[in-house]
Structure 1
Amino acid sequence: MSAAPLTLTVATPLRVWFDAVEIVSLRAEDASGSFGIRPGHADCVTLLAPSVVRWTCTDGTTRYCAVDGGVLLVSRGVRISIACREAISGDSLESLEAGVRSRHAEEDDAARRARVEQLQLHARAVRQMLRYLRPHPGGGADGPDGPGIGANPR
């Protein structure tokens, strides 16, 4: 008589990647190192390190999921739940690596665009301040509220 298979659920705030998938075993990594889970495992909760979680499906195939840390919960010795901020799944380590590289490139590009937009906003703000502080003919730097810095009060 064989043990009941494990069920795996992996979720992020935006998506449920896997929902009650039947698996035979799972390998993950926390602060203490790599560990494995099989049916009948003791109930536990652990904080996952940013790493690759891998599992063997009931048909013998191996699947992979890169996680950006997260929480792994084993309940009743057969249910595994992983909650993480970000996840990328793959059928092979090569496809997973390509997915992770692509995600990192997208994040780098988004950060670069945000820095450019921030610099543009800063430059506009400086130009606007200079426009109000620039001396006008006849002395003074008249701003929107009348005479400005260095204006002659007469």
Structure 2
Amino acid sequence: MFSRAASTLVRRVSLVGTRSYSDGPMAFTFASQNQVFYNGADVRQVDVPSFSGSFGILPKHVPSLAVLKPGVLTVLEADGAAKKYFVSSGIVTINEDSSVQILAEEAAGVEELDLGAARDILSKAHSEANAATSEEAKAEALIKVEVAEELVKAAESG
């Protein structure tokens, strides 16, 4: 009896170890208000910064919904090329059919970012935060600071 149970367990464990989560297509759509970056493109993986933590999306990912936080989104294309984009905020939808949609408030290729301009934006955001007199103005300014800090990091990495 024990050997039969052990044999069944070994077969199940070996089957689990052979499943490949990255096999199969993953239709990817990524757009901002001003530009469509991908429209139903077949990609291998997408790494996203979210408020629940940064995570990678592969084909057959569990269906999910997440909110983007400011940071770098990385797309590993079907040919193996990695493209990086700065996103300020937005939403990620992962569907049961392995399709993924990302709608960003603002997005730009990391290579397009100007480090000097990003640092200027950060400086102005800090000034606004220091000059804010109401709680609402302070909160808005701190959001600008957070986005600008991530923008500077992205520009430095590009």
TM-score > 0.5, shorter chain as reference: yes
Identity level (%): 24
Q: Report the equivalent of 2:146.
A: none
Q: Report the equivalent of 2:93.
A: 73
Q: Report the equivalent of 1:40.
A: 60
Structure with more helix by fraction: 2
RMSD of equivalent CA atoms: 2.5
**Contact map agreement 1:55 1:64 (CA 8 A) in 2:** yes
Secondary structure, aligned partner of 1:33: coil
Structure with more strand by fraction: 1
Deviation, structure 1 residue 75: 0.8
Deviation, structure 1 residue 15: 2.1
**Amino acid paired to 1:42:** V
Q: Would you say how many aligned residue pairs link Structure 1 and Structure 2?
A: 101
* Structure 1 pair 47–104 and aligned structure 2 pair: CA distance change class (3 A): farther
Cα shift readout 1:92-144 (whole Å, capped 9, x = no counterpart): xxxx2x52227946x96xx9xxxxxxxxxxxxxxxxxxxxxxxxxxxxxxxxx
Larger radius of gyration: 1
* Structure 1 pair 5–102 and aligned structure 2 pair: CA distance change class (3 A): same
Q: Report the equivalent of 1:100.
A: 113
**Does 1:6 find its partner at 2:19?**
no
* Structure 1 pair 19–103 and aligned structure 2 pair: CA distance change class (3 A): farther
* Structure 1 pair 44–56 and aligned structure 2 pair: CA distance change class (3 A): same
The one of the two structures with greater contact order (alpha-carbon pairs below 8 A, sep at least 6) is 2
* Structure 1 pair 102–19 and aligned structure 2 pair: CA distance change class (3 A): farther
* Structure 1 pair 68–103 and aligned structure 2 pair: CA distance change class (3 A): farther
C-alpha distance in structure 2 between counterparts of 1:55 and 1:12, whole Å: 15
Cα shift readout 1:34-83 (whole Å, capped 9, x = no counterpart): 11111111111110111111121111111111111110110124111111
Q: 1:30 aligns with which of 40, 50, 60?
A: 50
| Unmatched segments (≥5 aa) in structure 2 | 1-19, 125-158
C-alpha distance in structure 2 between counterparts of 1:16 and 1:79, whole Å: 16
**Is the deviation greater in 6-15 or in 50-59?**
6-15
Q: Report the equivalent of 1:59.
A: 79
C-alpha distance in structure 1 between counterparts of 2:112 and 2:81, whole Å: 19
C-alpha distance in structure 2 between counterparts of 1:14 and 1:55, whole Å: 19
Q: Report the equivalent of 1:18.
A: 38
C-alpha distance in structure 1 between counterparts of 2:38 and 2:82, whole Å: 14
| Alignment TM-score, normalising by the size of structure 2 | 0.56
C-alpha distance in structure 1 between counterparts of 2:100 and 2:117, whole Å: 28
